[in-house]
Amino acid sequence: MLNFSDLLPYSDLLLQGLWVTVVLTFYATLGGVAIGTACAAGRHYGGKVLRGAIGSYVELIRNTPFIVQLFFIFFGLPAIGIKLSAWEAGLLAMLINLGAYSTEIIRAGLAATPKAQVEAARVLGLSPHQVFFRVVLIPAFEKIYPALTSQCIIVMLGSAVVSQISVMDLTYAANLIQSRSFRSFEAYLVVAVMYLLFAIFMRQTFEWVGRRLFRHRRVST
């Protein structure tokens, strides 16, 4: 009864969809973690106004559904003259989303860095900027690395929603294939396995990067 061979003609579509998901995830992870790092630093060291602004951003994103954020960016923003392509809107939504969640994760890492480490760096004459990038940041990331890895994978999996604004990602490909071939079971099963494999690949990539970043201690998740 099951027939996977019916999917064969669509293999290119699946691979293209996977590629879109991979590229979106790649940019969203790099950009989102950068936003999260900047916001975490702002929330940890900044003044009252900055801390308040970042706190509002984080709470706004963490307490609303991703799909609503996505629809607001893609369907809502054009009303005030900001028109983005589906791909741009999808990426922006992922960036903003991961940025907010990773802000809180990275902030926990910054807060867990012993104050004495900072003092040791200051009395050696390092500037605040140097203290942050050379002394605080890497140990902070080390502490929260497993949580950050999971959050990036969650955002990758959540990116399936961008198919709803016609970004031709992996889920979009699955929808298309099942509507043409009527092989829903097979199409979604294959795509689910592809997501699973990609998620495992991501975790391993993070671990590989972690081993290089935190050389002094083997990171195990």
Closer of 17 and 210 to another protein (Cβ): 210
Distance CA 176, CA 181 (A): 9
**Interface residues toward another protein, by CB under 8 A:** 114, 116-117, 119-128, 130, 134-135, 138-139, 142, 214-217
Q: How long a stretch of residues is the chain?
A: 221
Q: At closest approach, how far in Å is the CB of 144 from another protein?
A: 14
Closer of 16 and 130 to another protein (Cβ): 130
In angstroms, how far is the first alpha carbon of the chain from the final one?
A: 40
Q: At closest approach, how far in Å is the CB of 49 from another protein?
A: 20
Cβ pair 196, 127 in contact under 8 A: no
Closer of 92 and 219 to another protein (Cβ): 219
Q: At closest approach, how far in Å is the CB of 209 from another protein?
A: 14
DSSP per residue, 159-205: GGGGGGGT---HHHHHHHHHHHH--HHHHHHHHHHHHHHHHHHHHHH
Contacts (Cβ under 8 Å, ≥6 apart) of 183? 3, 4, 6, 7, 177
* DSSP type of residue 216: T
Distance CA 197, CA 220 (A): 19
Q: Report the amino acid identity of residue 45.
A: Y
Closer of 68 and 124 to another protein (Cβ): 124
Closer of 180 and 215 to another protein (Cβ): 215
Q: At closest approach, how far in Å is the CB of 143 from another protein?
A: 11
